[in-house]
């Protein structure tokens, strides 16, 4: 019995024991050798696989018959049901929906393998197929210069500003051909052209104690100048729509207060944001090579790969 890789040997070994409800432990694990035995010392089950140098394939050299013992423990989880095994089982799920929740993964494994895994084990198992499908965190920084260069070439009006810092080794020497990521900003021409149609509002609130608790606003006299679109309360100027003080004289003069609502609130005006279309750009295989220095992420902001991420 031969296998193409050590991972395939371990996967088949785990699958057999998980399906049978049996347990094993590694006696020896090296780049060229796998030795396993039953967790029960009284059981005679043994397993040995080694790599064939010429063909670079793995061959099972020793395999005992079925375990002579019964399952030593009854548990909701299985000790050989590791994150690598789970990641292969959920690969299709993650490929279809990368945002799949951890409880759904736990339910899937329970349905497929009849075991309830922990939240931490499910979270760690999800990371591997995501990296296999979309690359890891470090690779995304490595691909960033090529991505930005392609968007600059193929997307008309694309704007980007990237800031990096020199990279130094442990001896304090500058590392050439590598830089450390600091920050990046980019935007597209349709976003630039559509920004002028956004609501020009800066909301600054001043909390004031109310005198009349029923009205929930301060009492007093307010001067309203309809022609200049001004009111002493400043809401008319800030929000570009009539406040309650403006509505009162409009009602007295039989004016339609809606005429003082700025056009930025109309559907026709807002829809202008979407007039411009985003340009098309080719598949990644057509992107030109980028000769910029390779970007390295700041190690201070790298998420801990082991275990569930800590909330900040």
From the list 245, 244, 242, 287, the residue with the least C-alpha distance to 262 is 242
What is the full DSSP assignment across 43-70? Answer: ---EEEEEEETTTTEEEEEEE-SS-SS-
86, pLDDT greater than 70 = yes
185, pLDDT greater than 90 = yes
For the chain, the farthest-separated pair of C-alpha atoms sits apart, in whole angstroms, at 100
pLDDT given at position 201: 53
270 pLDDT tier (thresholds 50, 70, 90): confident
pLDDT given at position 249: 85
Instruction: Retrieve residue 23's tokens.
Output: 């347990």
169 pLDDT tier (thresholds 50, 70, 90): confident
pLDDT given at position 205: 37
pLDDT tens column, 102-111: 999 999 999 9
Residues in the chain, how many?
Answer: 312
pLDDT given at position 103: 93
pLDDT tens column, 200-248: 654 443 434 345 555 555 566 788 888 888 888 888 888 888 888 888 8
Element at 35 (helix H, strand E): strand 33-38
Instruction: Encode burial over 142-177: b for 16+ CB neighbours within 10 A, e otherwise.
Output: ebbbbebbbbeeebeebeeebebeebeeeeeeeeee
How far lies 302's CA from each of 8, 131, 166, 175, in Å? 30, 15, 18, 20
pLDDT given at position 164: 92
Mean pLDDT of 23-52: 89
- Helix, strand or coil for residue 130? helix
3, pLDDT greater than 70 = yes
pLDDT given at position 303: 64
């Amino acid at each position: 019995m031969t296998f193409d890789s050590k991972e395939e040997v371990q996967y088949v070994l785990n699958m057999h024991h998980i399906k049978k409800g049996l347990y094993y432990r590694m006696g020896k694990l090296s780049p060229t050798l796998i030795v396993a035995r039953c967790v029960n010392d009284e059981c005679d089950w043994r397993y040995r696989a080694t790599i064939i140098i010429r063909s670079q394939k793995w061959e099972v050299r020793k395999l005992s018959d079925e375990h002579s013992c019964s399952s030593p423990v009854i548990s909701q989880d299985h000790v050989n049901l590791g994150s690598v095994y789970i990641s292969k089982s959920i690969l299709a799920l993650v490929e279809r929906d990368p945002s799949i929740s951890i409880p759904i993964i736990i339910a899937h494994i329970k349905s497929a393998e009849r075991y309830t895994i922990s939240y931490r084990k499910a979270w760690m198992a999800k990371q591997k197929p995501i990296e296999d499908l979309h690359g890891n965190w470090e690779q995304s920084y490595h691909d960033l210069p090529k991505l930005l260069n392609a968007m600059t070439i193929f997307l008309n009006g694309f704007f980007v500003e990237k800031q990096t810092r020199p990279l130094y080794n442990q001896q304090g020497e500058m590392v050439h051909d590598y830089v450390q990521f600091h920050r990046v900003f980019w935007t597209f021409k349709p976003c630039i052209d559509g920004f002028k149609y956004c609501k020009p509002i800066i909301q600054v609130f001043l909390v004031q104690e109310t005198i009349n608790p029923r009205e929930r606003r301060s009492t007093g006299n307010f001067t309203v100048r309809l022609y200049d679109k001004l009111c002493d309360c400043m809401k008319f100027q800030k929000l570009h729509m009539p406040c309650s003080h403006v509505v009162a004289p409009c009602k007295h003069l039989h004016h339609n207060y809606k005429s003082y609502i700025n056009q930025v609130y109309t559907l026709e005006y807002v829809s202008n944001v979407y007039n411009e279309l985003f340009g098309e750009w080719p598949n990644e295989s057509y992107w030109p090579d980028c000769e910029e220095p390779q970007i390295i992420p700041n190690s201070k902001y790298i998420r801990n790969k082991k275990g569930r991420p800590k909330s900040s």
